[in-house]
Amino acid sequence: MTDTADALTALAALPGVPEAVDAAREACTQLRWHNALRRRTEEARAESGVRAARASAALAGARFPVAMLRDAARGAATLPDDPAGRTASGALRAAAEATRLDGVWSTAPMQALARLHTAAAAGLVPDEALGRPRRAGEAPGDGADLLTGAAPGDVVPAPDGGDPLTVRLDGLADLLRAPAEAPALVVAALVHAEVMTARPFVVGNGVVARALCRAVVRGRGLDPTGVAVWEVPLLVAGPSYPLTLARYAAGTADGVRDWLVLFAQAVVDGAAEGGAVCDAVQAGRLTPAG
C-alpha cells in the first residue's frame, strides 16, 4: 500500500496536474453549495444519474435522447430490445448500482467490479459470463477506438485473460484501496483508465469503467452529492477521450499526465453540467439535453 501511495503522490505532482486537481475540487465544492442541493439533492442526483448513463451509453455506441432514458429509468418507457437498447439499459442499471457501492468498491473491489458488469452487460452476454473476467484466449469485444498511433489502425493491446489480466486486476484493487489522503481526482481517473485499457470483460468495459469511476468520485468525497455529470464532457470531447486513454496505456509520464488533466477538465465541465441540472430542479423544470 505504501508503494501505491508513493506512486499516487508522484503522479499527482506531474506538471499541470496539481492545478487541474485543484480546479476540479473547487468546481465540485461550488456545486455542493447550490441552493437546490439543500432540500432536493435526491431529485438532482437522479437526473444527473440519467444524464450520466445517457452519455456513457452514447460513448458505447448507443445513442438515445435523455428524455427516453429518463422515462425508462422511472418505468414509463421501455428501450428497444436490440444491442443498442440493451446497452443503454445496462448503462442505467450500472449508474444505479454505482450509488449502492459505498463501502464495497474499497473493501471488496472485485465484488464491486462484478456487480457493475452484471448490471451493465445483462442481455449482452450469456448469464455465465456476467461479472466474470475474461479467461485465457478470450478477447474483449470493445476498445477498438483506443488507437496507439504506432501505425494506422493499431489498437492498444489488452492483457490476455487468465494470469496477465489477474495481475492488472490486482493492481486495480490496490488502487481502489488507496489511502484516504490520496487525491480523489487522481484515484478516480486512474481507476477509470485502468478498466478502460485492461478491458477485463468480453463486453461492457466502458460502461463499467465510467460507473466505477462515478462511485469513486462520490465515495472519496470529490463530488459527494453525485450531481456532477463529467460523462457528458467526455462524450463531447470526441476522439480525444479514447486517444488520450491510449496515450495513458503507453505508460509514459506524459501520457498519464495528459489523461489526468483531461479527466480533471471533464470534472470541471461536469460540475457546470450538474449546476444546470440543479437550476432546472430549482425552477421546477427539467429540459431534455438531447
| Residue-wise pLDDT tens digits, 50-81 | 999 999 999 999 999 999 999 999 999 999 99
User: What does the alpha-carbon distance between residue 128 and residue 30 come to, in Å, rounded to a whole number?
Assistant: 44
User: What does the alpha-carbon distance between residue 10 and residue 97 come to, in Å, rounded to a whole number?
Assistant: 32
| 111 within 8 A of 104, measured Cβ to Cβ | yes
Rounded average pLDDT over 36-51 = 92
3-state helix/strand/coil string of the chain:
CHHHHHHHHHHHCCCCHHHHHHHHHHHHHHHHCCHHHCCCHHHHHHHHHHHHHHHHHHHCCCCCCHHHHHHHHCCCCCCCCCHHHHHHHHHHHHHHHHCCCCCCCCCCHHHHHHHHHHHHHECCECHHHCCCCCCCCCCCCCCCCCECCCCCCCECCCCCCCHHHHHHHHHHHHHHCCCCCCCHHHHHHHHHHHHHHHCCCCCCHHHHHHHHHHHHHHHCCCCCCCCCCCHHHHHHCCCHHHHHHHHHHCCCHHHHHHHHHHHHHHHHHHHHHHHHHHHHHHHCCCCCCC
Residues 221-251 pLDDT 10s: 999 999 999 999 999 999 999 999 999 999 9
Whole-structure pTM value: 0.95
Q: HSE of 72 in the Cβ direction (CA atoms, 13 Å)?
A: 25
* Residue 208: pLDDT over 50: yes
Which amino acid makes up residue 250? Answer: A
Considering the chain, what percentage of its residues have pLDDT values greater than 70?
A: 97
The rounded mean pLDDT for the chain is 94
**36 to 31, 106, 273, 281, 284: CA distances (angstroms):** 10, 30, 14, 7, 10
Q: What pLDDT score was predicted for residue 1? A: 57
| 24 within 8 A of 222, measured Cβ to Cβ | yes
* Residue 290: pLDDT over 50: no
pLDDT band at 150 (very low <50, low <70, confident <90, very high): confident
CATH of 2-283, one of 3.30.70.1880, 3.90.700.10, 1.10.3290.10, 3.20.20.240: 1.10.3290.10
Rounded average pLDDT over 17-28 = 98
pLDDT band at 9 (very low <50, low <70, confident <90, very high): very high
Residues 101-114 pLDDT 10s: 998 999 999 999 99
* Residue 2: pLDDT over 80: no
- Axis-axis angle for helices 2-12, 184-198 (nearest 10): 100
User: What does the alpha-carbon distance between residue 104 and residue 100 come to, in Å, rounded to a whole number?
Assistant: 8
pLDDT band at 288 (very low <50, low <70, confident <90, very high): very low
